[in-house]
Amino acid sequence: MMKFSLVEFSIRRPKWVLLLTGLITLLFLTQFPKIRTDTNPKHMLPATSDVRVWNDEVDKTFGLYEDTIVVGVENDAGVLNRETLGRIARITDGILALPGVASRDVNGFTTITNVTAEAGTLKVGPLMPAAPKTHAEVEALRAALFGNPLFVNRVISKDGKTTAIYVPLEKGANGAEIADKIRAIVAQEKGPERYYIAGDPVARDTFGAEMFKLMAMFSPIAGMIMFAAIQYMFRNLALSAAMMGVSMVAIIWSMGLLIGVGFPVHIMSSMAPVFLMAIATDSIHIFNEFYFRYKEKGDKLAAIRETMAAVSRPVRFTALATAAGFAVLLFMNIVPVQVFGGLIAFGTVVLRLLSFSFIPAVLTFVREDRLVRAAGSESVEGDRTARALGRLGAFGAARPGMTVAVALALVAVSVWGTSKIHVNNNLVAWFKPSSEIRVADTAMNAALGGTSLGYLVVQSKEPEFMKQPEAERWIEGLQRHLEALPEVGKTFSVVDYVKRINRVLHDDDPKYDAVPQTKDMVGQYLFLFSMSAKPSDLDNVVDSAFGKANIWVQMKTWDADAMRQVIAAAERYEKANPLPLTVKPAGIAYFNLVWNDEVLGDLVRGFSLALVVVFAILALDFRSFKWALVAYAPLLFTILFIYGVVGFVGKDFDMPLSVMSTLSLGMAVDFAIHFVSRLRQRLAEVGGADLPGALAWTAARPGKGIMRNAVLFAAAFSVMMFAPLTPYVVVGAFIVSMMLLSALLTLLLIPALVMLGRRWLVA
């Protein structure tokens, strides 16, 4: 009743409705300047989550930095020559002077602590205090680098062609700005060297910039494509404009609300405009029906009323299904996904509200002469598309057994494909292979120990225990055990310092490249080391009470799985070598793993929830479990097909995909709702005698709306397939195929199923 009066009001006072909509839109628009983006993957989980609390604690205990930029320098002729080393020294000096850089802990040739013995004198100090001036000095540096396992694969590659400068950032420093300044410093150097700027902050900020590009460029392009498509379908500028207007209004309201409430725009919410635009296409059913009705009646206002009456129920329930599909995201653990779910659910409600007010209001303004011309071709008999769709429905109805059998065979294959799905998140893989960040990451991983960093915190209940030789040897053994894994490029711990000092004190005798015999020796060596080293050198690997040690594990891939291997290997080692020590993983690589598993858990939870909710909505809408089951089939089959393909193609099942799978339920079911609702209306109107006829009619008339809707939806999302970031590409491809497939299956499979179960259903 409420909705109906809203329609009436909108037809009587269209100007009021438009004015009011405009005013509210302006209000939301005022929030836009406050926009903030958040591209920190850490924020995927709430600050109170165990993994974040623990990681913060580890950072604090070991004086670790949250963000480090890695500057790679590569020279095919080797970096160990006077010219290149001079450049490295100049570049490092430049970096040290940058605001926001934690200069005291920058590690490169000129700053990293070296422990050597020369002519009986122990030397603890920067490896290369100044650029070498003679060939002999270069050779001495080469010997120092390759003679010290602490350096190989960390600041020098095995082939001597690549070095790295690790640049930690102060809390709150702007990573993008600093990366830009480093690029400027590097650009001043003329020479054969190649430079790579990599690291977490760079990835994040690149992502943020691309995200904005996507929102600012791709959303309008998607809008224009939709506009063109609508214009082609309805040949009426006012209608096309109304449709676009509705989606714009919904986008502005939702984004305005998001920004106004103070949420930052995250990867998920940056996709919201495209989603809302696509969901707005559901109003297509109104226009579609309006054209048919207008053609039949010739009275504009009556056509509007009748159209609204006919489509209001399916439109309301599809909106409900879509909103519910997104709202289940609110129950997930991943923060941006929750926000996104709420955002789209809100936007969907706004869209529906506008469908019953703004759209009828605009329809009253459409000039009748234009309408007559545009709607001229709009009849089931006269329209080629409608005829083809009708035949499709009739085919399903005529050969239900075969249709269902083929579909079931495809389902079986898909289920097999689904079993091959591999859950994995790899943040670097979100960038295209040709992107600067991927290139840098690939090059650095090939040359050095790996850009993905995890920690293993070895804990003892006793303070000072890490100075015990057996603890030191235990850690050393664990490091060797981990390094045997193909994913692990380098490990690094306090033991490496102890062994190094032991050897250096004994005239560089390789025999002493081992953990010394007594606790006093370990303690005194470390004290000796701390007399000259940077405070952070030891702080990074042991806590102040020597009760905890931190093993740095560099991995050559950002795959969440790599860290899982490391943890499993550590657990095996712990079991095989009992000592009162426990190992606990930490660091960004560990975070990625936890988050990866959260995604999986969320997926299972969200998916099951969405299945139940969508079924409940169907049952409620049709007031029949049987019809709900029928409408459910195309949805289930579509999703299975797509996952089957994902499994066969070998695409990692990651966060964007898992989110899509949940909310796709709510969107893909729309077509079935329209189809079944209108079919049953038709049956009520014309009687149940000619079931195949009614099916063909539904496939032709509301079916055309369904096809139009699917094509528009797909058109909007196809733009995302050209995005520079793979999650967008994947989401785009996913939605395009899902929409087209579920429309096709609705028109083909539902008639088949209805025919097969006609006794059971219609009786």
Partner 1 sequence: MKTKFQRRLMREARYAVTKRWWIWIIAGLLPLQALALSGEEVMKKSQAAFLYPGKDFKARVVMKLINKDGQERVRELTMLRKNVGEAGGEQKYFMYFFQPADVKDMTFMTYKYPARDDDRWMFIPAINMVKRIAAQDKRSSFVGSDFTYEDVSGRDLEDDTHALEREEKIGGRDCYVVKSTPKGSDADFGYKLTWVDKANFLPLKEEQYDKKGARYKLFTADEVADVQGIPTVVKRSMKNLQTGHRTEVAYLKSGYNLGIEDSLFTERFLRQPPRKWID
Query: Per rule CB under 8 A, is residue 140 in the interface with partner 1?
Result: no
Rounded CA-CA distance 737/335 in Å is: 27
Which is nearer to partner 1, 419 or 544 (by Cβ)? 544
Fill in the DSSP letter of residue 125.
E
Rounded CA-CA distance 698/694 in Å is: 6
Q: State which of residues 48, 121, 134, 434 lies at the interface with partner 1 (CB under 8 A).
A: 121
Find the shortest distance in angstroms from Cβ 545 to partner 1: 8
Which is nearer to partner 1, 103 or 377 (by Cβ)? 103
Which is nearer to partner 1, 65 or 648 (by Cβ)? 65
Residues listed for the chain = 763
Interacting stretch for partner 1, rule CB under 8 A, among 319-327, 528-536, 638-646, 678-686?
Answer: 528-536
The residue to which tokens 């836009």 are assigned: 32
Could you give the 3-state DSSP secondary structure of residue 492? strand
Which is nearer to partner 1, 123 or 572 (by Cβ)? 123
Rounded CA-CA distance 466/545 in Å is: 9
Measured between alpha carbons, how far is residue 642 from residues 402, 426, 438, 532, 634 in Å?
Answer: 22, 21, 28, 61, 12
Report which of 662, 574, 678, 575 is spatially closest to residue 611, judged by C-alpha positions: 662
Strand 194-198 and strand 121-126: the pairing is unpaired
Which is nearer to partner 1, 61 or 709 (by Cβ)? 61
User: Which string of x and - marks every residue 260-279 that binds partner 1 (by CB under 8 A)?
Assistant: --------------------
Strands of 548-555's sheet in order across: 488-492, 548-555, 452-459, 582-586
Which is nearer to partner 1, 57 or 571 (by Cβ)? 57
Query: Per rule CB under 8 A, is residue 129 in the interface with partner 1?
Result: yes
Where b means 16+ CB within 10 Å and e means fewer, 666-693 reads bbbbbbbbbbbbbbbbbbeeeeeeebbe
Which is nearer to partner 1, 231 or 530 (by Cβ)? 530
Q: State which of residues 187, 531, 576, 763 lies at the interface with partner 1 (CB under 8 A).
A: 531
Phi-psi region of 460 (alpha: psi -120 to 50; beta: other; left: phi over 0): beta
Query: Per rule CB under 8 A, is residue 220 in the interface with partner 1?
Result: no
Q: Which residues pair with 113 in a beta bridge?
A: 126
Neighbours of 177 (CB within 10 A): 14
Tally of CA atoms within 13 A in the half-sphere of 34 that contains its CB: 14
Find the shortest distance in angstroms from Cβ 465 to partner 1: 12
Contact 756, 408 (CB under 8 A): no
Q: State which of residues 86, 126, 147, 264 lies at the interface with partner 1 (CB under 8 A).
A: 126
Q: State which of residues 25, 81, 103, 379 lies at the interface with partner 1 (CB under 8 A).
A: 103
Rounded CA-CA distance 567/481 in Å is: 11
Which is nearer to partner 1, 69 or 553 (by Cβ)? 69
Site size for partner 1 (CB under 8 A): 42
CA 671 to chain centre: 27
CA 404 to chain centre: 36
Q: State which of residues 22, 46, 125, 298 lies at the interface with partner 1 (CB under 8 A).
A: 125
Contact 578, 481 (CB under 8 A): no
Find the shortest distance in angstroms from Cβ 99 to partner 1: 5
Which is nearer to partner 1, 24 or 122 (by Cβ)? 122
Q: State which of residues 145, 230, 427, 538 lies at the interface with partner 1 (CB under 8 A).
A: 538
Instruction: Work out the angle at residue 739's Cα, subtended by the Cα atoms of residues 736 and 741, and round it to the nearest 5 degrees.
Output: 100
Find the shortest distance in angstroms from Cβ 205 to partner 1: 22
Which is nearer to partner 1, 166 or 525 (by Cβ)? 525
Fill in the DSSP letter of residue 512.
G
Strands of 194-198's sheet in order across: 162-168, 68-74, 194-198
Interacting stretch for partner 1, rule CB under 8 A, among 22-30, 116-124, 438-446, 453-461?
Answer: 116-124
Query: Per rule CB under 8 A, is residue 99 in the interface with partner 1?
Result: yes
Find the shortest distance in angstroms from Cβ 153 to partner 1: 25
Which tokens is 747 given? 């028109």
Q: State which of residues 18, 241, 410, 533 lies at the interface with partner 1 (CB under 8 A).
A: 533
Which is nearer to partner 1, 523 or 757 (by Cβ)? 523
Neighbours of 468 (CB within 10 A): 20
Which is nearer to partner 1, 99 or 486 (by Cβ)? 99
Where b means 16+ CB within 10 Å and e means fewer, 527-562 reads ebbeeebbebbbbbbbbeebbbbbbbbbbbbbbbbb
Query: Per rule CB under 8 A, is residue 530 in the interface with partner 1?
Result: yes
Which is nearer to partner 1, 404 or 528 (by Cβ)? 528
Find the shortest distance in angstroms from Cβ 531 to partner 1: 6
Q: State which of residues 299, 520, 571, 690 lies at the interface with partner 1 (CB under 8 A).
A: 520
Query: Per rule CB under 8 A, is residue 544 in the interface with partner 1?
Result: yes
Rounded CA-CA distance 125/128 in Å is: 9
Report which of 613, 466, 606 is spatially closest to residue 550, judged by C-alpha positions: 466
Query: Per rule CB under 8 A, is residue 523 in the interface with partner 1?
Result: yes
Rounded CA-CA distance 316/322 in Å is: 10
Q: State which of residues 102, 152, 636, 744 lies at the interface with partner 1 (CB under 8 A).
A: 102
| Residues in 447-466 that interact with partner 1 by CB under 8 A | 464
Find the shortest distance in angstroms from Cβ 67 to partner 1: 16
Interacting stretch for partner 1, rule CB under 8 A, among 4-12, 30-38, 94-102, 243-251?
Answer: 94-102
End-to-end CA distance of the chain: 30
Interacting stretch for partner 1, rule CB under 8 A, among 124-132, 621-629, 675-683, 728-736?
Answer: 124-132
Q: Which residues pair with 457 in a beta bridge?
A: 550, 584
Rounded CA-CA distance 214/347 in Å is: 19
Find the shortest distance in angstroms from Cβ 613 to partner 1: 47
User: Which string of x and - marks every residue 40-79 that binds partner 1 (by CB under 8 A)?
Assistant: --------------------x--x----------------
Which is nearer to partner 1, 537 or 561 (by Cβ)? 537
Question: One-letter amino acid identity for 453?
Answer: L
Per CB under 8 A, residues contacting partner 1 are 60, 63, 96-99, 102-104, 118, 120-126, 129, 170, 464, 467, 505, 516, 518-525, 527-528, 530-535, 538, 544-545
